[in-house]
């Protein structure tokens, strides 16, 4: 568990370097990746449902990204995309491909459907967090007196 | 992008309603109404687009500063030139090492053990080198296909020779950095925001890139099954 958590930080940070992110965003991106992985694996242990766990992981990680984006004044995708990359259904997609090339088309189709569902859950987690964060931010701004 | 144009317009003292912009991945259309008339401009986007989030972040920052009138127009134009000329934040070797580390750690993530880190990392590193070399000469889709082919052939080869128990982990780890995460996310955000054209265009791009990676992996797997 601890090894995987450290690995998720390393994977996220080195992936973000390939995307040329600014230097002061690197540590927050590592934190987002770690939170994504932790919330995914914890919710997987409770629910035993990969799609649900992916959605929860992606939602929590993107909410954190929204917070970082407003705190450091940088676009949200800069934190959210490298942060969520550890949740990508790579093994599922690979198994689907492998089933297809060995002519097990039914297995392949079921795996590919599951891959698409997980990818959809990740995407809707990102999208939903944007809406939630916007609502929270607006409420927060209205309730505080304007700063001059 | 459209928001950036709105920030810039309001910084220049133009009513938000009188500036209309329409941005797609292949062209930018701007129309601006001032007391002296309406100006329109169409800018086609050509050439390979490279992913540089440092630039995106810098331009976003600049447009907000301009909106707050924290800098003048000539300063902003000068800054824009500087951003455009700026070299990549991380040099070639840093990117190659980052590709090694990320592919290696993804290999362990997807069920690899111990030495698989090294093999996955090497496959990912070579994929990155191939990608960066080819993207200068061929369309990016083809470059991704070739890079994914290199990565998955090396992955399948190493797993075949060394009888790695989880053959997939090396292949998956090495192709993960090639996935179009940014295009896919932007596509869904655009679609939800109602920018249907831009969303579908980006979605098509992401779909093609993902498809070419899948084809490369399938080819490598096919060959490895054939040789078994």
Where do the structural domains in chain A lie, given as residue ranges? Answer: 2-143
CA angle A48/A53/A57 to nearest 5° reads 155
- Identify the pLDDT of residue B47: 63
pLDDT digits (tens, 9 = 90+) for B171-195: 888 888 888 888 888 888 788 878 8
Rounded to a whole number, what is the distance in Å from the CA of B35 to chain A's nearest CA? Answer: 32
Q: Which of A8, A20, A68 to mutate to test binding with chain B, by most B CBs within 10 Å of its CB? A: A20
The closest of A63, A41, A38, A65 to A52, measured between CA atoms, is A41
Contact residues on chain B for A94, CB-CB shorter than 8 A: 110, 168, 171-172, 217
Judged against a pLDDT cut of 80, whether residue A142 lies above it is answered with no
Give the C-alpha distances (Å, rounded to integers) separating A33 from A12, A14, A114, B108.
Answer: 6, 11, 23, 15
pTM of this prediction? 0.82
CB pairs under 8 A between A and B: 132
CA–CA min distance A75, chain B (Å):
6
Two tokens, residue A80: 């959210």
Residues of chain B numbered 100-139 and touching chain A (CB < 8 Å): 100-102, 105-106, 108-111, 128
A7–chain B nearest CA distance, Å: 6
The minimal CB distance from A75 to the residues B51, B60, B94 is found for: B60
**Locus of tokens 């090639």:** B178
Tokens of A44: 């997987």
How confident is the model over B137-157, as a mean pLDDT?
89
pLDDT one-digit tens code per residue, A44-65: 999 889 999 999 999 999 999 9
Cβ distance of B53 and A85 shorter than 8 Å: no
Torsion of CA B91, B96, B101, B102, to 10 degrees: 90
Sort out which chain A residues have CB atoms less than 8 A from B58's CB and list them: 22
CA–CA distances in Å: residue A83 to residues A75, A86, B148:
13, 7, 22
For residues B7 and A136, give the distance between their C-alpha atoms in angstroms, rounded to a whole number: 22
Token pair 């994504």: residue = A36
């Amino acid at each position: 568990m601890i090894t995987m958590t450290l690995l998720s930080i390393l994977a996220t940070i080195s992936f973000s370097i390939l995307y040329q992110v600014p230097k002061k965003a690197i540590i927050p991106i590592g934190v987002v990746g770690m939170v994504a992985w932790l919330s995914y694996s914890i919710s997987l242990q409770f629910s035993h449902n990969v799609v649900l766990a992916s959605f929860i992981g992606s939602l929590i990680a993107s909410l954190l990204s929204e917070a970082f984006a407003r705190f450091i004044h940088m676009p949200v995708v800069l934190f959210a995309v490298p942060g969520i990359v550890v949740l990508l259904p790579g093994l599922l997609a690979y198994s689907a491909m492998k089933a297809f090339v060995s002519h097990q088309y039914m297995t392949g189709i079921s795996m590919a459907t599951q891959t698409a569902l997980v990818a959809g859950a990740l995407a809707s987690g990102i999208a939903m967090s944007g809406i939630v964060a916007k609502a929270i931010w607006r409420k927060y701004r209205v309730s505080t007196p304007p700063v001059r | 992008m459209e928001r950036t144009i709105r920030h810039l317009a309001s910084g220049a003292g133009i009513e938000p309603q009188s500036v209309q912009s329409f941005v797609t991945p292949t062209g930018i259309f701007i129309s601006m109404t001032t007391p002296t008339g309406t100006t329109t401009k169409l800018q086609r986007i050509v050439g390979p687009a490279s992913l540089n989030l440092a630039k995106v972040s810098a331009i976003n920052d600049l447009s907000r500063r301009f909106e707050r009138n924290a800098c003048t127009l000539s300063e902003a134009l000068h800054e824009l030139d500087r951003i455009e000329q700026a070299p990549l934040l991380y040099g070639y070797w840093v990117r190659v090492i980052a590709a090694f580390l990320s592919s290696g750690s993804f290999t362990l993530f997807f069920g690899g053990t111990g030495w698989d880190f090294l093999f996955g990392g090497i496959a990912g590193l070579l994929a990155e080198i191939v990608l960066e070399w080819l993207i200068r000469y061929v369309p990016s889709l083809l470059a991704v296909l070739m890079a994914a082919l290199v990565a998955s052939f090396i992955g399948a080869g190493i797993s075949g020779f060394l009888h790695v128990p989880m053959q997939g982990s090396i292949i998956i780890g090495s192709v993960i950095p090639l996935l179009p995460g940014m295009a896919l996310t932007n596509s869904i955000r655009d679609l939800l925001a109602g920018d249907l054209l831009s969303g579908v265009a980006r979605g098509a791009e992401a779909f093609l890139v993902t498809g070419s990676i899948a084809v490369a992996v399938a080819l490598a797997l096919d060959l490895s099954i054939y040789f078994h």
